[in-house]
Structure 1
């Protein structure tokens, strides 16, 4: 199993940052390789991604969701095995730190090579940077879900 831990500071209040992160269907706007996400229930999402030319579909369960604090998930079945948590930390009334921790198991030769070369870590850094740009450019969230899991 491999791990990635990265963070980014965003010039937007914590509530707006958290609310945007809960809009899973907007992830393709800032996550490289994510083609589509469908939120099927409060806890279940279906992902379609294309990474390194390989298409993958998988289910992910939200295992914990606390407004303005954290969202945790794990994949279910299939050939994509990962779990993670993103936490939101208020720095000031207008600034938030987003911390992402991801545990994943690379499958096959190509994924193992990409893991050893740090490509997954580089992708996470890029995704967080694009999330920062996405929410800062808008200045507000595209929607919100304030429920708790």
Structure 2
């Protein structure tokens, strides 16, 4: 398993960021490759993602852990685990950290993409881009 941790500082209060990260239905606005998303009963999220030129459904269990930590775990393949941790910088600024645990080969098999080290770099660029898009999305509102 590989672990990726990245963060971005955003110019909104922590309560605003916390509310927005929980609005799964808006993920297509800032998560690349997500075509549709919705919350479901029992703390689950359903995502329609682009995969190998088509669409693939991904189900995840989502839960809040501790102070301002949202964790998720994919249900079925590919096995992905992650979290979003929010920390106040000051009254009007928040740091959001994304943590992702994954197997690069499994991700490649499920969604396509390059092999080996190039896959790891592609995932890092994707997550970094998604954090930047989240920042833009939240700050516009």
Shared fold per TM-score greater than 0.5: yes
TM superposition shift of 1:112: 5.9
Higher relative contact order (CA 8 A, sep 6+): 1
Q: Deviations over 1:81-139 (max 9, x none)?
A: 100011000000000000000011232394461x621101000000000000000011x
2:84 paired residue number: 86
Q: Which has the higher helix share?
A: 2
Distance 1:68-1:130 versus aligned 2 partners, 3 A rule: farther
Unaligned runs of 5+ in 2: none
Secondary structure at 1:28's aligned position in 2?
helix
TM-score under structure 1 length normalisation: 0.83
1:69 Cα deviation after fit: 0.9
Conservation of the 8 A alpha-carbon contact between 1:89 and 1:98: yes
How many residues matched?
135
Whole-angstrom distance in 2 between the partners of 1:9 and 1:126: 13
Judge conservation of contact 1:18–1:67 (CA < 8 Å) in 2: no
Who is 1:74 aligned against? 73
- In the other structure, the counterpart of 2:123 is 120
Segments of 4+ moved more than 2 angstroms: 51-55, 105-112
Gaps of 5+ in 1: 139-149
Contact 1:37 1:47 in 2 (8 A): yes
